[in-house]
Amino acid sequence: MLHTITPLSDVPRAQLDPITTPTEKLSVFALALSRPLRNETLALCCDHYQRGLGIFAIDSKLKLTQIIDRIIGAAINIDSIATICLLSSRRGASRDVTDSSQFFMAKNRCQDAGLELTNWFLVASGGICALN
């Protein structure tokens, strides 16, 4: 599992290179992902040109709809953030039946705050999946 998400040798540079593909996003997340896996959510914040501005990490077992307000609260304090991409890791657990609805509700909350939630990746013992 730990070899599933590994950083690329050419990781996009913060505030310079656009981060547009899932591979590029996962390579950035791989730099911040805790190992061994634990329950956490990482938020990659980008500007209008999809250049990375920062990563927030939240250690929590809460569902995404319960922590999205914390992510939005941190992101809206930085004027240049336009988009957010998320990665959640779960220790031992894989996809949950409510994940799709959680993503939809989180996407709406972000939109209400003037932000775009582009992707949500889940890393668990079974591998990686995109939940958007």
Q: What pLDDT is stored for residue 73 in this prediction? A: 93
Q: What pLDDT is stored for residue 6 in this prediction? A: 52
Q: What pLDDT is stored for residue 21 in this prediction? A: 92
pLDDT, tens digit, for every residue of 24-78?
A: 999 999 989 998 889 999 999 999 999 999 999 999 888 898 999 999 999 988 8
Q: What is the pTM of this model?
A: 0.88
SS (H, E, C) the chain: CCCCCCCCCCCCCCCCCECCCHHHHHHHHHHHCCCCCCCEEEEEEECCCCEEEEEEEEECCCCHHHHHHHHHHHHCCCCCCCEEEEEEECCCCCCCCCHHHHHHHHHHHHHHCCCEEEEEEEEECCEEEECC
pLDDT, tens digit, for every residue of 89-113?
A: 988 777 788 899 999 999 999 999 9
